[in-house]
Chain A
Amino acid sequence: METAQAAEGHTGKANGIGAYLAKHLREYGLLFALIAIMAFFQIVTDGTLLRPVNITNLFLQNSYIIIMALGMLVVIVSGNIDLSVGSVMGFIGALAAVMIVELDLPVYMTIPACLIVGMGIGAAQGYFVAYWKIPSFIVTLAGMLVFRGLSLWLLEGQSVGPFPKSFQLLSTGFIPDIFGIGRPNGTALAAGLVAVALIIWLGVRDRTHNRRYGMELEPPAFFFVRNVIVAGALLFIAYKLSTFRGLPNVLISMVLLTVIYAFVTENTTLGRRIYALGGNEKAAKLSGIKTERLTFLAFINMGMLAALAGLIFAARLNTATPKAGFAVELDVIAAVFIGGASMSGGVGKIVGAVVGAFIMGVMNNGMSIMGIGIDYQQVIKGLVLLAAVFFDVYNKQKQG
């Protein structure tokens, strides 16, 4: 219908906005899906979802998924997949427990050591994928079994804990109020304001750039509404957090990592090359891109982030258990696909993956509050994943 209209020569405003929306339905859809899901759970949980404690919990509970989703997005964009991240995360948690609790090694040594081990694991898997061209599905499936087994062996089937206070801070610490107000927490409020200002500034800057180079412009109304929603949500969350204990440490690391990864993937030559590699490996290679090395790096990066997630997870539970990280890879991968990445590589955005992870997180959290059994939870999450990807494919077909 869209084309028929255009053919008749109506270039009216309504048509422009309609066409724009049709083309970018996926991105707006994701944002609206998150809002709708939050609204839904807010209502059915009688307002529990957005209580300050629960918002704080949402971040604490999901931080490790979000952190791994960053790495997974890069891996998937490069045209691969990593099934081992759950096991690696559990293994690193176990390693940290053994090092700190059983061997009495200091925390400041354990953390870097664990990150390096994570990178080593990523390098080992990436080596086979990149240089021996073994499909990543197989290599990391093997890795998933190996590291699941190794964490059982490390922990001898037991839970190991508790951790010293300094290690727990990794996950349960909060940023103190630098303004000395206490409650509401001034730092949290200020951070919210700064974030809003930054986002609006970046948005406007992008818009001027797009206008200057004749790129497609988001209709002003959309730009405005979208920014109002995002800004409102940020301020709301900042306010809620400030009335509890302020900004959790993990939130800061999460935001920092997200910004860094979004920047690297979207604005650097490194990021561009990874997209090219996933888009068409042969063409990328013939353009002088070191495709093997990039694949290798993507896995090393994934290993490091899985290790970080393992540390944060162990710190939060204050113990390392043999079951830690079990089946987490599925949530991470689902988050990335819900966020709009394509299985065949070359497509996907960091912000999408993070929003996807939040959608999974809110659903996990909301359903737990409602007391829905783990059985139904799995069913619902599975259907949401399918729906999201179906929406993608359907959209693409309609346009093509």
Chain B
Amino acid sequence: MTPLLEMRSITKTFPGVKALDAVNLSVAEGEIHALVGENGAGKSTLMKVLSGVYPAGSYDGEIHYDGHLASFGGIKDSESVGIIIIHQELALVPLLSIAENLFLGNECARNGVVNWRETFQRTEGLLRKVGLAETPSTLVDSLGVGKQQLVEIAKALSKDVRLLILDEPTAALSESDSQALLDLLLELKAHGVTSIIISHKLNEVRRIADSVTVIRDGAVISTMDARTEDITEDRIVRDMVGRDMAHRYPARQRRAGEPLMEVRNWNVWHPEHSDRQVIRNANLTVRAGEVVGIAGLMGSGRTELAMSIFGRSYGRNISGEVLMRGKPVDVSTVDRAIGAGLAYVTEDRKSLGLILDETIERNITLANLPAVSGRGVISEARETQVAEKYREAMNIRTPSVFQKVVNLSGGNQQKVVLSKWLFAGPDVLILDEPTRGIDVGAKFEIYNIINELSAEGKGVIMISSEMPEMLGMCDRIYVMNEGALVGEMPAEEASQERIMSLIVRV
């Protein structure tokens, strides 16, 4: 059987970077094909080549689709033959309704007049197909990421998709949302839709993929077929990182010392709906050298808790006390919070963590400019040294630290955000989904960094939706539900079931 898609010897170069080097990819009709590889391996770039984001002529090689040589001048061309890409970053218009988003640029209209009845009817049909129980007039803004992802898929379905490309669709989703999404993909497959999925979550890959292609440094390392062979996670990992990885989590020595940071009776109200209490009387302690996790479902208030502590960056009518080493500190603005020894690595790196149009170097030093300057004058030499140091330590893949952050792969951007906060030299580092969209090798590096920090006697608060990561890295885990910390347990006693039961019981 001839494959639906065959990409032959694709080479794509950016100034100073060869992102893809003679890549071959073959996808059979009706299969789910997983594309895996380290951060910056070239996965997103390959899919952008396929979908015409990088138009024909800007790369070398051939794309054969459905038996023809394809040459897409833009995304419209690939969409017209049924190739739909859902990018790593969602591309919905927040203040438009679901229905408007679904048919954006593709409106059910006659002579430019929108037929709202038809729009709504078709939207309802599509929403049913993806299993999303929302009304078509709901604003996208009010949906969680999981539901937004489903809207993206519904949008793809509205365009008669044959080949669906999903770039890390579950990176920002909770466990249950991810499951729902994967089930939907399997269902689409039953209806004959072919998909290519990029993911760093190897358990998901194993669960749904019919074949797996591993890319490393812009070249294909291996292609495996789940129908004829057993694909183990270890094997994928080995091909991804080029060596065996015996453990996913580095060994940790527990060494909880004196209380380093204490939060007492912390209450926060919603910034717009002033009658809604978002955080209820939270009490939390981090000891020196301790890694403390906060588990909870999405929307349970973990990010809100962290951001309200970090310079009141979220919420209003905040009350409560923060103590560092037993003494009350002022954390009412971000710079005071930093001064008190806090750092917060946001979960939303694009809009809250980075200045995309600036260089890696300038992003890394931003939160601690005084350390690279004297009397307010920046020393470029010192700044570059610092940036180089972190590039090496964090293994940021880039030709130079003067590269703009927008040109980095998602995972490498995350490393830049982390570098920025490590350079700020905090006593307590709050990590909000620190490994989202990060490959297994880099995750291991980040875990190592966490361990190093705790070995230095610093405290780490980790918020993560990946339960295994929490169990693997934390010394103690708080459980949060609906804005309240409902339980606390040492890691040895913790398990997925125990945490869930605490959440459900309340």
**B106 at interface, CB cutoff 8 A:** no
B313 touches A285 (CB 8 A): yes
B373 touches A283 (CB 8 A): no
**A272 at interface, CB cutoff 8 A:** yes
B378 touches A269 (CB 8 A): yes
B355 touches A272 (CB 8 A): no
A269 touches B369 (CB 8 A): yes
Complex interface: chain B residues within 8 A of A288 (CB): 311, 334-335, 337-338, 367
**Which of B57, B310, B351, B376 is A268 in contact with, Cβ under 8 Å?**
B376
Report the minimum CB–CB distance from B61 to chain A (whole Å): 10
B357 touches A268 (CB 8 A): no
Complex interface: chain A residues within 8 A of B60 (CB): 4, 7
Within 8 A of B (CB), among A110-138: none
B367 touches A267 (CB 8 A): no
**A346 at interface, CB cutoff 8 A:** yes
A209 touches B380 (CB 8 A): yes
| Contacts A7-B11, A7-B60, A215-B402 given; does A269 touch B373 at CB 8 Å | yes
Query: Per-residue CB proximity of A166-210 to B under 8 Å, as 1/0?
Result: 000000000000000000000000000000000000000000010
**B400 at interface, CB cutoff 8 A:** yes
**B7 at interface, CB cutoff 8 A:** no
Q: Count the A-B residue pairs with Cβ separation under 8 angstroms: how many?
A: 100
Report the minimum CB–CB distance from B318 to chain A (whole Å): 16
Query: Per-residue CB proximity of A9-52 to B under 8 Å, as 1/0?
Result: 00000000001000100000000000000000000000000000
Complex interface: chain B residues within 8 A of A212 (CB): 381
| Contacts A213-B381, A267-B378 given; does A276 touch B313 at CB 8 Å | no
A279 touches B313 (CB 8 A): no
| Contacts A216-B402, A276-B366 given; does A283 touch B344 at CB 8 Å | no
Report the minimum CB–CB distance from B73 to chain A (whole Å): 14
A290 CA / B338 CA spacing, docked (Å): 12
Query: Per-residue CB proximity of A210-225 to B under 8 Å, as 1/0?
Result: 0011111000000000
**Which of A268, A276, A347 is B373 in contact with, Cβ under 8 Å?**
A268
**Which of B13, B313, B352, B402 is A6 in contact with, Cβ under 8 Å?**
B13
- What is the size category of the interface that chain A forms with chain B? 20 to 34
Q: Which of A23, A212, A215 has the most CB of B within 10 A?
A: A215
Complex interface: chain B residues within 8 A of A267 (CB): 377-378
**A239 at interface, CB cutoff 8 A:** no
Query: Per-residue CB proximity of B329-363 to A under 8 Å, as 1/0?
Result: 00001110110000010100001111111100010
A283 touches B353 (CB 8 A): yes
**Which of A268, A269, A276 is B355 in contact with, Cβ under 8 Å?**
A276
**A273 at interface, CB cutoff 8 A:** yes
Complex interface: chain A residues within 8 A of B397 (CB): none
Complex interface: chain A residues within 8 A of B388 (CB): 213
Complex interface: chain B residues within 8 A of A23 (CB): 15
Report the minimum CB–CB distance from A147 to chain B (whole Å): 33
B interface majority secondary structure: mixed
**A286 at interface, CB cutoff 8 A:** yes
B369 touches A273 (CB 8 A): yes
Query: Per-residue CB proximity of A323-336 to B under 8 Å, as 1/0?
Result: 00000000000000
**B116 at interface, CB cutoff 8 A:** no
Complex interface: chain B residues within 8 A of A3 (CB): 12-14, 58-59
Complex interface: chain A residues within 8 A of B335 (CB): 288-290
**A158 at interface, CB cutoff 8 A:** no
| Contacts A267-B378, A273-B369, A282-B352 given; does A215 touch B357 at CB 8 Å | no
Q: Which of A287, A288, A290 has the most CB of B within 10 A?
A: A287
Task: Report the interface size for chain B: residues with CB under 8 A from the other chain.
Answer: 44
A290 CA / B369 CA spacing, docked (Å): 13
Query: Per-residue CB proximity of B2-46 to A under 8 Å, as 1/0?
Result: 000000000111110010000000000000000000000000000
A287 touches B367 (CB 8 A): yes
**Which of B58, B338, B358, B380 is A275 in contact with, Cβ under 8 Å?**
B358
A286 touches B344 (CB 8 A): yes
A393 CA / B486 CA spacing, docked (Å): 53
Complex interface: chain A residues within 8 A of B468 (CB): none
**A141 at interface, CB cutoff 8 A:** no
Report the minimum CB–CB distance from B344 to chain A (whole Å): 7
| Contacts A280-B356, A282-B351 given; does A287 touch B366 at CB 8 Å | yes
| Contacts A6-B15, A280-B356 given; does A270 touch B351 at CB 8 Å | no
B384 touches A272 (CB 8 A): no
Report the minimum CB–CB distance from B455 to chain A (whole Å): 26
**A317 at interface, CB cutoff 8 A:** no
Report the minimum CB–CB distance from B413 to chain A (whole Å): 12
**Which of B311, B338, B354 is A283 in contact with, Cβ under 8 Å?**
B354
Report the minimum CB–CB distance from B311 to chain A (whole Å): 7
A215 CA / B361 CA spacing, docked (Å): 12
B400 touches A286 (CB 8 A): no
**Which of B14, B18, B334, B370 is A286 in contact with, Cβ under 8 Å?**
B334
| Contacts A267-B378, A287-B420 given; does A280 touch B351 at CB 8 Å | yes
Report the minimum CB–CB distance from B376 to chain A (whole Å): 5
**A284 at interface, CB cutoff 8 A:** yes
A279 touches B357 (CB 8 A): yes
Complex interface: chain B residues within 8 A of A280 (CB): 351, 354-356
B369 touches A279 (CB 8 A): no
Complex interface: chain B residues within 8 A of A209 (CB): 380-381
B376 touches A270 (CB 8 A): yes
A150 CA / B285 CA spacing, docked (Å): 59
Complex interface: chain B residues within 8 A of A270 (CB): 376
A214 CA / B391 CA spacing, docked (Å): 14
A279 touches B358 (CB 8 A): yes
Report the minimum CB–CB distance from B380 to chain A (whole Å): 6
Complex interface: chain B residues within 8 A of A282 (CB): 351-352
| Contacts A6-B15, A268-B373, A276-B366 given; does A346 touch B333 at CB 8 Å | no
A279 touches B355 (CB 8 A): yes
Report the minimum CB–CB distance from B257 to chain A (whole Å): 27
A6 CA / B357 CA spacing, docked (Å): 24
| Contacts A6-B13, A288-B367 given; does A283 touch B380 at CB 8 Å | no
Complex interface: chain A residues within 8 A of B367 (CB): 287-288
Complex interface: chain A residues within 8 A of B338 (CB): 288
Report the minimum CB–CB distance from B258 to chain A (whole Å): 26
A280 CA / B350 CA spacing, docked (Å): 9
A-B contact pairs, 30 of them (CB 8 A): A3-B13, A3-B59, A6-B13, A6-B15, A209-B380, A213-B381, A213-B384, A215-B400, A267-B378, A268-B373, A269-B378, A270-B376, A272-B369, A273-B369, A276-B355, A279-B357, A280-B354, A284-B355, A286-B311, A286-B313, A286-B352, A286-B353, A287-B420, A288-B338, A289-B334, A289-B335, A289-B366, A290-B335, A346-B355, A347-B357
Q: Which 5 A-B pairs have the closest CB atoms?
A: A279-B355, A288-B335, A287-B367, A269-B369, A213-B384
